Amino acid sequence: MHPVVELAMRTVHEHVRTGGTPSPEGLPEEFMEGRAGVFVSIKKQGRLRGCIGTFQPTSESIAQETIRNAIAASTKDPRFPPVTEDELPDLVFSVDVLTSPEPVESPDELDPKRYGVIVSCGFRRGLLLPDLDGVDTIEEQLSIAMMKAGIEPEEEGISLERFEVKRYR
């Protein structure tokens, strides 16, 4: 298990059990000093159990971003109740570290296996990570991201951005 994934797991375990957070020790320097958006995904028996993240850095390091988003994924994902102590042995974690988003002119510049997408219209914004099970086409990827943002396909002023991730398991 990669050290950043172990940090996400230790964070959720400690937070659920005691309300505390671990220190981010033993991580490579890039995680202690680098800054990036981070998504923490939690699965239970192969099914999503929580996923929260940031597409731009909001903390002083990737390690701190991971801690913050691991807690949020386990307690604040509106699709799920907070993780309980009984569930902890069954949870599997992954951490995605994002590159900075870049604008694209058309969907032709997207690839759902390589790029995540951000769809924006006014103040509404929907993000979908790349290489997700069951999302095989650009159309599916855009449709899900737009639905998450509450954007209708026929709306004017829709902008697209793409990003890549380094996925750690």
Query: Percentage of the chain surpassing pLDDT 70?
Result: 100
Dist CA 103 CA 99 (whole Å): 12
Residue whose entry in the numeric block shows the structure tokens 């102590």: 85
Domain boundaries, the chain: 3-98, 102-164
Burial (CB count <10 Å: 0-12, 13-18, 19+), residue 110: buried
Q: Tell which CATH architecture fits domain 102-164.
A: 2-Layer Sandwich (3.30)
Whole-prediction pTM:
0.95
The average confidence (pLDDT) of the chain is 97
Best CA proximity match to 145, nearest among 111, 124, 118: 118
Q: Tell which CATH architecture fits domain 3-98.
A: 2-Layer Sandwich (3.30)
Flag whether pLDDT at 39 surpasses 90.
Answer: yes
